[in-house]
A and B are shown apart, each in its own frame.
Chain A
Amino acid sequence: AQSVAQPEDQVNVAEGNPLTVKCTYSVSGNPYLFWYVQYPNRGLQFLLKYITGDNLVKGSYGFEAEFNKSQTSFHLKKPSALVSDSALYFCAVRDRGNFNKFYFGSGTKLNVKP
């Protein structure tokens, strides 16, 4: 069974500082991994995904994520946070053997303070 965990309910960071939002997964194979962002009263927006190849994936709005197979992690990062990055972030996993299941983590609220 696939599952994905986001161990932090909330992450606080000062504007201009680097940010990391953590995600770990448990798999029965090699999953596809995704990050989404949700602003208040909006739908989920795709940020980036890991399919195969280079472990460092770059996405929208300057975000990147590093796939670490040995630690089964896919942490979201950004070198310099903006106040406008404040939002809810979701990690997601999709089973390579069953495209019908797309699981989300519990979400992490990112607060970037001026």
Chain B
Amino acid sequence: EPEVTQTPSHQVTQMGQEVILRCVPISNHLYFYWYRQILGQKVEFLVSFYNNEISEKSEIFDDQFSVERPDGSNFTLKIRSTKLEDSAMYFCASSAGTGGSGELFFGEGSRLTVL
């Protein structure tokens, strides 16, 4: 069964360092998302990506964050200068272009720890 894959599963970084989280969405999907979850609590929307551009972003997704789909298969989230409060589980998700009725498929997440 097709699945969304994320790397790394866990990354530890120092405050102020750049981090890139990688995702490989399901191959025929058209909509891509990043969410984060702090301490197993609420799943917070960060950004959605469609047709090679950001389609929506939340207030969390400030200038420190960026996304790219560099090669038609990978979908990356970059945090330019990490802060302590960026420590969270980051989930990538994708969905098919089925008129919005398609569910999101999630990866297993990348745990980011900022020291």
| A contacts, CB < 8 Å to B | 32, 34, 36, 40, 42-46, 49, 51, 88, 90, 92, 94-96, 98-104, 106-107
Contacts and interface: CB of A to CB of B under 8 A. Distances in A.
Nearest to B4: A43
A44 B103 CA distance: 11
Contacts of A104: 35, 42-43, 45
Tell me whether chain A's interface is mostly helix, strand or loop, or mixed: strand
A43 B91 CA distance: 7
B106 A102 contact: no
B43 A51 contact: no
Contacts, number: 61
Interface of B: 4, 31, 33, 35, 40-43, 45, 48, 50, 55-56, 91, 93, 95, 99-101, 103-109
A107 B37 CA distance: 11
B44 to A, nearest CB: 8
Contacts of B48: 100-102
B100 A94 contact: yes
A90 B55 CA distance: 23
